[in-house]
Amino acid sequence: MSGQLDMIILLFVIISGIGAITVRDLLGAAILFGAYSFLMCLLWAIMGAVDVAFTEASVGAGVSTVLFVAAVFRTTRRTKD
C-alpha cells in the first residue's frame, strides 16, 4: 500500500459500490458497477499487480458492463429497491 492515493481511490470504490446497489434504476446500477470495476483496477495498478489490473480493465470493467447492459436491455430497468 502506498500513501494517500490508494486511500482516496479505496474511498471512491466504497462509494461507487454503495451507489451501485442503492440506485433505483438497473441501467444506472450497471454503469456504476462498471465505474466500481475500473476504480478497483486502478487500485490494483497502484498496488503493483499490473497483470491483474489489465485483466480487470478488459474483463471486469469491459465485458461485465457490456453483459450487464445487454441483460438490462433484454429485461427491464425497473427495480423496487
Partner 1 sequence: MSEFIDFFVGKYNYWAFILLMMIGLYAMIAKKNLAKKIIGMNIFQTAIILFYISTAAKGGGASIPIIAHGHGHGLSEHGARAADYINPLPHVLMLTAIVVSVATLGVALTLAVKVYHQYGTLEEDEIADRIRAQTGGEP
Q: What is the binding site for partner 1 (CB under 8 A)?
A: 1, 6-7, 10, 13-14, 17-18, 20-21, 26, 29, 33, 36-37, 40, 43-44, 47-52, 55-56, 59-60, 63-64, 67-68, 71-72, 74-76, 78-81
Q: What DSSP line would sit under 30-79, residue for residue?
A: HHHHHHHHHHHHHHHHHTT-HHHHHHIIIIIIIIHHHHHHHHHHHS-S--
To the nearest whole angstrom, how small is the minimum distance from the Cβ of residue 72 to partner 1? 7
To the nearest whole angstrom, how small is the minimum distance from the Cβ of residue 11 to partner 1? 8
Element (H, E) at 24: none
To the nearest whole angstrom, how small is the minimum distance from the Cβ of residue 28 to partner 1? 11
